[in-house]
Amino acid sequence: MRRQTTIALALVLAGMAGAGARAAAPGFDPIRTRQAGQDLVTGSFIGMRQAVIHRLPVKPYAGTAMAIAKWMQQFPTLFPAGSDRGDNTKALPAIWKDRAGFEKDAANASAAARKLALLARADNGPAFAAQLKVLGGTCGTCHKQFRAR
């Protein structure tokens, strides 16, 4: 009888621990946040490519490019310890092994996007087109080393 009570109590406590873990889950989720952000970055990138292809004025993209610059500045903070697994993340362990390299790639992407924003502000279509390719290159550089396929 006493043993059954102990088991029942253990089960209740285990259930509470599980509920506690679930209750914590709806808070800030760095993996989903960074993945959603990257999808938005991609949409912005495609939009700017379309502008280049169709030779549209690039000035309206100054804010978009600056947003990518700001996002990439914050990007490494969305990879806290422990966010290397779960939720289908494609972040590679290299991010935590070579933090400096990862932060440098993010800084390069941010700088490229900032320059793109300034060229947009100046409405310099040809230079904007060339710089968009530079920005695209910074995506590939980081993905190659730090993102799983």
Q: What's the closest the beta carbon of residue 121 comes to ligand HEC, in angstroms? A: 19
Q: What's the closest the beta carbon of residue 130 comes to ligand HEC, in angstroms? A: 15
For ligand HEC, the closer of residues 6 and 77 by Cβ is: 77
Q: What's the closest the beta carbon of residue 57 comes to ligand HEC, in angstroms? A: 21
Q: What's the closest the beta carbon of residue 90 comes to ligand HEC, in angstroms? A: 4
| Distance in angstroms (rounded) separating the CA atoms of residues 58 and 52 | 8
Q: Binding residues for ligand HEC, per CB under 6 A?
A: 31, 34-35, 38-39, 41-42, 45, 75, 89-91, 102, 105-106, 109, 135, 138-139, 142-143, 146-147
For ligand HEC, the closer of residues 87 and 123 by Cβ is: 87
For ligand HEC, the closer of residues 109 and 119 by Cβ is: 109
Interacting residues of 91 by C-beta distance below 8 A, sequence separation 6+: 31, 79, 83, 84, 146, 147, 148
Q: Are 123 and 132 in contact (CB under 8 A)?
A: no
Q: Are 105 and 145 in contact (CB under 8 A)?
A: yes
For ligand HEC, the closer of residues 103 and 121 by Cβ is: 103
| Distance in angstroms (rounded) separating the CA atoms of residues 116 and 110 | 10
Token pair belonging to 55: 């030779």
| Distance in angstroms (rounded) separating the CA atoms of residues 111 and 91 | 22
